[in-house]
Chain A
Amino acid sequence: MAEFEPKIVAFVCNWCTYAGADLTGTSRIKYASNVRIIRFPCTGRIDYMLLLKAFDEGADGIIVSGCHPNDCHYTSGNFHARRRWIMFRSLCDFTGIDTERIKFSWVSAAEGAKWAEIVNTTVASIRELGPYTDYKKVAKYPEKEVIHG
């Protein structure tokens, strides 16, 4: 059997992390290719439902990243996001969603190397954890024929 290749979805803000990831590329720093990047105007826009949907659609891990505190292009978007992440993460923990599979980080436009490192460590740790079968089993619908209670 082929080695497990984790599918990672990264939700990043346009102004810092996306630019940072860009820098990673232009600096020719090599990093794992398991990540699909989705760009948002701001971390404040990253709805927690999107994270659940990513798992639903088969992601094994998620990266959420944006500007460092005080660096938000819109002044406070990342502060709001941070509160939301704190609560969402604890709700995930409470419902048994594997919080090890969701990495949060601050990566600025100048931190190309940090981005590469975040991706590489995330891929490595998800590779260790294996595919997110617990979630996929429950999301198996619509393959299942009838859902009784």
Chain B
Amino acid sequence: MNIDKRLVRKDSLEKLFDILKRNSKTIYAPFTKNGKSTFRDTESFGAISTGYIQTTESAKDIAFPRTEKLLDFSKSKEGMSVKGTDLNDIPDVILWGVRPCDASGIGELSSIFNWDYKDEIYINRLSKVTVFGFSCSKSDEYCFCTSVGGNPGNTAGSDILFTLLGEEGDYLAEIITEKGLAVVDLAQNLFEKTDISGKEKFLAELPVKFSHEDIRLKLDKFFESKEWIEQSLRCLGCGACAYVCPTCACFDIQDEAHGKKGSRVRCWDSCGFSHFTVHTSGYNPRNVQSARWRQRIMHKFSYMPERLSVYGCTGCGRCSRACPVDMNILEHLISIQEVTV
């Protein structure tokens, strides 16, 4: 559909929030605790964090929760009964305040969960989500969306994209999808007709720092490079980067049971953990941190483009911000581009 442009007054956002709540929508919005922001089920407009360049955690939780039931089982005298997750229980959710890099990350996550085998739990969760993207008017030294094909006003992945028109201004709302339109229908009078164009001047300026195509080509012959060892020497092998990443989808499957009842659950996992690939025999194909760091970069910039035709990185810079030892992905990618093979 064509993108429909509307004007939303500054003070209308709160009204919109209330209308959505009255229509029994669950609203996931940025919430700050201990100075770190994540997306939470939010009851009041006032609780929503604002002014962030980027939330600490990504919004992927909404379609790919950190811990998620796949099925329930129970044993009884009559035998074993197994029941899959009831997809009808998934609520309609508004994902509020997502940055364009996060919104576009949904597409990359989906490419994994739709690859050949369709993961209907993920698909159903996502189908219930309406994404309210908010363009970026600020960026920091960790941002690099423009280097991986995005931009601070990218509409990809959002159902409605709000762009703040100047510091104290109103919002330009771009209605991108049918889902977005459905929201407009609930609050017609808040979305005023407008002929404003040219949101670009209100967006953050972010020069391109590297070429992701070049990186991909470079990686084809980079597997054995010593660069991986040098880059990963200070990496401590935690999972912070993977867990805050909007596109990291690696998971583990575990059974959690109490007595005769239990569930099989899917939970996040990370390729950075030393035990991620260990065979039962004890043999580990990726037995050093450099191999695991290489997997992380190769997966995002070589394997995913080759197999799924998308890059596994949106340039949000979260992993670099979250890293306890300052592994800066942007810096490492630039040095990969610069190093001669």
Contacts and interface: CB of A to CB of B under 8 A. Distances in A.
Question: Do A and B have CB atoms closer than 8 angstroms in the complex?
Answer: yes
Contact of A142 (B38, B40, B69): B69
Contacts, number: 34
Interface residues of B, number: 21
Contacts of A142: 69, 72, 256-258, 261-263, 265
B60 to A, nearest CB: 11
A138 interface: no
Name B's interface SS: strand
Contact of A147 (B65, B85, B258): B65
A137 interface: no
A139 B38 CA distance: 23
B41 A146 contact: no
A56 B41 CA distance: 27
B67 A146 contact: yes
B250 to A, nearest CB: 18
Name A's interface SS: loop
B265 A148 contact: no
A145 interface: yes
A145 B69 contact: yes
B258 A146 contact: no
A94 interface: no
A141 interface: yes
A145 B258 contact: no
Nearest to B33: A149
A3 interface: no
A57 interface: yes
7 contacts: A57-B258, A57-B259, A142-B69, A142-B72, A142-B263, A147-B66, A147-B67
